[in-house]
Chain A
Amino acid sequence: MAFQNQVLFAKDSVYIHINVQDAKDKDAHIAGRVFFLKKPEGYFIEWKAEEVLSLETQNEEWDVIGSVGYKNDRDADSVTMNAKMDARRKYNISFDILDLKSFKRSAPNHGWAYIIFILKDGSTFPPLHFHNGGSKALLKELENFIHIRRSPNDPRLFIVNDHDPEMLSKSFNELAIFSDSSGALVQKFIKDPYTTTLGGFSKVTNFLRDVLMTPENQIERPQSEVAELLQDDIPGMEISQMEDTGFEVVTKTKLPPRPSVKRSDPLTAMQWNAFFDSEGRITKVEELKDIIFRGGLDPAIRGDVWKYLLNFYDWDSTSKKRQDQRKRKVDDYFRMKLQWKTISAEQERRFSLLKERRGLIDKDVMRTDRTQKFFSGDKNPNLQVLYDILLTYCMYNFDLGYVQGMSDILSPILVVMENEVDAFWCFAGAMERVCHNFEMDQNGMKVQLSQIHKLMQVYDPELCAYLESHDSGNFYFCFRWILIMFKREFHFHEIQRLWEVIWTDRPCTNFHLIISLAILDTEKSTLMENKFGFTEILKHINDISLSIPLEETLCKAEGIFLQLKEFKKLPAPVKEILGLLPLPMSVSMENSIFMSASSHQDIKPENGGQRVDTPQLLATGGGGGGGGGATAGAGGLSHSGSGTQLSSSNSGRSLVNSNMDSSLEILDDDAKIFT
């Protein structure tokens, strides 16, 4: 064959770690093989899943040349189903090394080495984990074809030197430093002289950086330095010293040094039970929240504790009161559910808004977390529960209705609660915190994105100026993070941990914005040294989803908060965002939206009833209405049936247990009219 692929390097036992709920699941890691290939059209790095390879390689003949061969250790009789193959295949990686912009290596004290490849257009591949070594050898091979230098700011980051004749001319184009029309600039200057001037200066800086960093001006790095990256243990690059580079930035902005922060173990069932007094009231609520903030919850008690975090129960309630609360919530839920269940097809023809919402929910339910076992498979009954809760929420909050993203918020809650009514009310509680994100005018989103901007201006003016001068000062690239509280950025089990930490409202108001700063801080060198522009920033931030280390990020975020808090010259607007002002009586409308009452518990601890009063609202509605009696009956049935509540009775992980069925039978008769 004239145009065979030549294998210059190949290595087995290179894994991609994928999103699965159970980390022990054997599917959590996809085994694969990494190749460095010479193809007719260029030099390629590829990664293929073992299972895909075992079928595909039968038809391909690859010449193995060079010293590094590979052992044929594939399981000959491994039978894989097509669906699984497709799922595997979608992780396949293949790129021309001419597209390679940079790569990130794992920290030296990380168990095994991993490499994250980043392309010129901002595409970022999932980390390739070399469980059996080989990363060094691959990079060494690569080094024969491209020039690599280490980032001066991030020891894990390596940049490919690109001999691109375009680069210099591009830099000169950017010499149009103040590209805004002069009139607009003057306007901006009058409004905000500080930012406008610095913004302009930052463009100068960026221009200089671009020119200074073009290959033409690049002093050839000593061979020894490049050799360094080929060693598994990079000398002098311990984690603690990596943080030293962080201190440099800190000195520049005169923030106090970032204290090291430790996370703890999750709250256990035993600890949790010890918090209750004889009447079933939780004692020492603040201490409890501190523990949850510091370590999250053991999955076994997650469903119980979330009910408090999400305002289903009051923190100071007795067992007796909770029984009443729950009964009322069950009744209220089924009353609202009955409201839409009893709308006939005839009625719906003249109720286009409801019809439209049904359509939207129907579409999104079919494509929400279908890779999770809980929602996978055809005709999975849990999809119906998702649908019912979302449509009932439309009756609960008709003005808001259904907006894309809500199903993402509900899905992890439903998985934890395993009960329709509990999931609905916890979802309503979670929505209370984020409903401004979904409003028609999107003001809530705009406010938060501008708050990230304000925080960044103080925390890291350099990165802030860079983003501004690369059309990214609006922080739209963080949109998905904020809209659904990082739901798509972390693995499913991690998002449950993250949310319970955020729901403690510690250590400050709007901690999720600080988490955004922490993630951006980690990506800073990648964004700036690769000289990413608007598109590449957006693409890179999109692509790092599911590879952001949660606990590390939480530590960093808390550290950043402590730095800001200790900063003597912290501007008042930033204090306001973080809830650090004594009593924000005259808070501007803009900021007040996100200072939900619950978040001021640092100031007024133990004030239980200050959260938005969903239960009370419902209580007043509970008894009224002609159909209420029948519904209450149905609800009561369900209540007693699902009294055991949690995971102890989760046979088959389907929510539609027999009790639920019987309670819904009454409703289903009505429902048949229009299905």
Chain B
Amino acid sequence: MAAGPYNYSYIFKYIIIGDMGVGKSCLLHQFTEKKFMADCPHTIGVEFGTRIIEVASQKIKLQIWDTAGQERFRAVTRSYYRGAAGALMVYDITRRSTYNHLSSWLTDARNLTNPNTVIFLIGNKCDLDAQRDVTYEEAKQFAEENGLMFLECSAKTGENVEDAFLDTAKKIYQNIQDGSLDLNAAESGVQHKPATPRNPITTDQPPNKENCSC
């Protein structure tokens, strides 16, 4: 019979933000289900996704909060930032306006999370290169100037989606290891769970594809 009360060692809270229609829910869906869902209903309020990943042979449960993008719902979505360990800030490379609004999203992300929250900039829809409205270089520069991690992704093809979510987790885990993220702080966005594996963890296990409960 089971000994440990949890089957993972950490829970990381992520929040996905950005203008409406940039593909936030599709990125989440691609990450948790490995599928592109073109007609995924627009998010009202907040929706959740989860997936268990492995970083440095630690099992980490990502609890991902996917928010509504329209400006007037910000009052509500702002209440969901609290305690996020990672923030994925998304724009659409084919719509410059969504890129222009990044500074305002970034302000929210900085003000409403703790200083150690890892902010990852995602330029979505990179499969639509022909309609590109924002160059990779300028976004890269914006990211560097603001100390953000950055990738261009495609929720449709899945390109780089896995990396964006995993790199964020690695960075958070690194922050825990080097002590810059204090787990005892009230809103670190990380919960440590005393996982006691019931069976030896095997290395030839397939990825935890069925642990999505969104």
- Residues 1-27 of A, flagged 1 when their CB comes within 8 A of B and 0 if not, give 001000000000000000000000000
By the criterion CB–CB under 8 Å, are B21 and A359 in contact? yes
B44 touches A480 (CB 8 A): yes
Q: A3-B204, A368-B42, A439-B72 are in contact. List 14 more A-B contacts (CB 8 A).
A: A41-B201, A92-B210, A94-B210, A125-B213, A145-B2, A165-B194, A166-B193, A356-B97, A367-B42, A404-B44, A404-B68, A404-B70, A480-B44, A488-B41
Shortest CB-to-CB span from B188 to chain A, Å, is 14
Name the B residues within 8 Å of A538 (CB-CB).
46, 48
- On whether A366 and B38 interact (CB within 8 A), knowing A119-B213, A483-B45, the answer reads yes
Cβ B5 vs Cβ A98 within 8 A: yes
Q: List 8 A-B contacts (CB under 8 A).
A: A3-B204, A3-B205, A40-B205, A96-B211, A98-B6, A359-B95, A370-B39, A438-B72
- Asked if B45 and A480 make an inter-chain contact with CB atoms under 8 angstroms apart, the answer reads yes
Interface centre among A86, A368, A480 (most CB of B within 10 A): A480
In the complex formed, the residue of B with least CB distance to A120 is B6
Residues 4-19 of B, flagged 1 when their CB comes within 8 A of A and 0 if not, give: 1111000101000000
In the assembled complex, the Cα of A363 lies from the Cα of B38 at a distance in Å of 10
A442 touches B44 (CB 8 A): no
Q: How far is the CA of A476 from the CA of B68 in the complex (A)?
A: 13
Verify A367–B5 contact, CB threshold 8 A. Answer: no
Give the shortest distance, in Å, between A478 (CB) and chain B (any CB): 9
- Is B7 a contact of A123 with CB atoms below 8 Å? no
Interface membership of B63, Cβ < 8 A:
yes
Answer whether residue B202 sits at the interface, using C-beta atoms and an 8 A cutoff.
Answer: yes
Asked if B133 lies at the interface with its beta carbon under 8 angstroms from chain A, I say no
Cβ-based interface call for A542 (8 A)? yes
Chain B: CB-nearest residue to A163: B5
Q: Which of A165, A366, A407, A539 has the most CB of B within 10 A?
A: A539
A635 to B97, CA, bound (A): 37
Pick the contact of A442: B4, B72, B205 (CB < 8 A): B72
User: Is residue B185 within 8 Å, beta carbon to beta carbon, of the partner chain?
Assistant: no
Q: Does A285 contact B (CB under 8 A)?
A: no
- Which of A94, A474, A484 is close to B44, meaning CB atoms less than 8 Å apart? A484
Query: Would B40 and A360 count as touching, CB distance under 8 A?
Result: no
Task: Flag if B213 contacts A123 (CB, 8 Å).
Answer: yes
Tell me if A483 and B44 are in contact (CB < 8 A).
yes
- Decide yes or no whether B75 CB sits under 8 A from chain A: yes
A94 to B50, alpha carbons, bound, how many Å? 12
Tell me if A405 is interfacial: C-beta within 8 Å of chain B: yes
Taken together as a complex, chains A and B put the C-alpha atoms of A438 and B72 apart, in Å, by: 8
Asked if B152 lies at the interface with its beta carbon under 8 angstroms from chain A, I say no
CA distance A98 to B211 in the complex (A): 13
**For the complex, is A201 an interface residue (Cβ under 8 Å from B)?**
no
Q: Is B128 an interface residue (CB 8 A)?
A: no
Is the pair A42, B7 in contact by a Cβ cutoff of 8 Å? yes
* B2 A42 Cβ-Cβ under 8 A: yes
Q: Is the CB of B79 within 8 A of A96?
A: no
Instruction: Flag if B75 contacts A442 (CB, 8 Å).
Output: yes
> Which residues of chain B are near A166, meaning CB under 8 Å?
5, 193-194
Q: Within the complex, what minimum Cβ distance (angstroms) separates A110 from chain B?
A: 25
| Bound CA span A162–B41, Å | 36
Any chain B CB within 8 A of the CB of A403? yes
Asked if B198 is at the interface (CB within 8 A of a chain A CB), the reply is yes
Q: How large is the interface on B (under 10, 10 to 19, 20 to 34, 35 or more residues)?
A: 35 or more
Bitwise interface map of B from 165 to 204 toward A, beta carbon under 8 Å scored 1, else 0: 0000000000000000000000000000110001101101
How far is A488 from B79 in the complex, measured between Cα atoms in Å?
21
List chain A residues, Cβ under 8 A from B1: 145
Complex: how many Å from CA A380 to CA B210? Answer: 33
Contact of B20 with A by CB under 8 A: yes
A121 proximal to B (CB < 8 A): yes
Shortest CB-to-CB span from B16 to chain A, Å, is 15
Flag A474-517 by CB within 8 Å of B: 1 or 0 each: 10100110011000100000000000000000000000000000
Chain B contacts to A: CB under 8 angstroms: 1-2, 4-7, 11, 13, 20-21, 33, 35, 38-42, 44-48, 50, 63, 68-70, 72-73, 75-76, 79, 95, 97, 193-194, 198-199, 201-202, 204-205, 210-211, 213-214
- Chain A residue numbers with a CB within 8 Å of B72 are 403, 438-442
A86 / chain B contacts, CB cutoff of 8 Å: 35
Q: Counting CB contacts under 8 A, is A396 at the interface?
A: no
Q: Give A602 to B92 CA distance when docked, in angstroms.
A: 51
Q: How many residues of A contact B (CB 8 A)?
A: 59
Cβ contact of B50, chosen from A123, A356, A439, cutoff 8 A: A123
A466 interface hit (Cβ, 8 Å):
no
Q: Which residues of A contact B199 (CB under 8 A)?
A: 40-42
Instruction: State whether A404 and B7 are in contact (beta carbons under 8 Å apart), knowing that A145-B1, A165-B194 are contacts in the complex.
Output: no
How far is A165 from B3 in the complex, measured between Cα atoms in Å? 12
- B48 to chain A: which residues have CB within 8 Å? 123, 538-539, 542
* Minimum Cβ distance to chain B for residue A310 (Å): 22
A90 interface residue per 8 A CB criterion: yes
Residues A164 and B45 in contact, CB atoms below 8 Å apart: no
Neighbouring B residues of A123 by C-beta, 8 Å: 48, 50, 213-214
By the criterion CB–CB under 8 Å, are B47 and A542 in contact?
A: yes
Q: Return A463 CB to nearest CB of chain B, in Å.
A: 20
Bound CA–CA A370/B214 (angstroms): 19
Q: Is A312 in the interface zone, CB < 8 Å from B?
A: no
Q: How far apart are the CA atoms of A488 and B6 in the complex, in Å?
A: 32
- A403 x B70 contact (CB < 8 A): yes
Q: Is the CB of B210 within 8 A of A43?
A: no
B19 to nearest A CB, angstroms?
Answer: 10
Interface contact B76-A476, CB-CB below 8 Å: yes
| 0/1 string, A161-173, CB within 8 A of B gives 1 | 0111110000000
The 5 closest A-B pairs by CB, nearest first: A370-B39, A363-B21, A94-B210, A123-B213, A479-B45
Query: Cα distance A580–B193 when bound, in Å?
Result: 51
Query: Which of A41, A46, A369, A438 meets B7, CB within 8 Å?
Result: A41
User: A389-415 toward B: CB 8 Å interface, digit per residue (1/0)?
Assistant: 000000000000001110110000000
Contact with B along A92-114 (1 / 0, CB 8 A): 10111111000000000000000
Is A523 at the interface (CB under 8 A from chain B)? Answer: no
- A364 at interface, CB cutoff 8 A: yes
The 0/1 profile, CB within 8 Å of B marked 1, for residues 447-466 of chain A is 00000000000000000000
* Inter-subunit contact A488/B75 (CB<8 Å): no
* Shortest beta-carbon distance from A117 to chain B in Å: 10
Which residue of A40, A121, A364 contacts B63 across the interface (Cβ within 8 Å)? A121
Cα of A135 to Cα of B44 in the assembled complex, Å: 34
B210–A404 touching, CB < 8 Å: no
B29 CB to closest chain A CB (Å) equals 9
Give which listed residue, A41, A404, A542, contacts B205 with CB less than 8 A. Answer: A41
Instruction: Write the chain B residue with the least CB distance to A43.
Output: B2
In Å, the complex CA distance between A285 and B41 comes to: 38
Closest B residue to A173 by CB, please name it. Answer: B186
Q: How far is the CA of A476 from the CA of B81 in the complex (A)?
A: 14
Docked-complex contact B20 and A360, CB < 8 angstroms: yes
B214 / chain A contacts, CB cutoff of 8 Å: 123
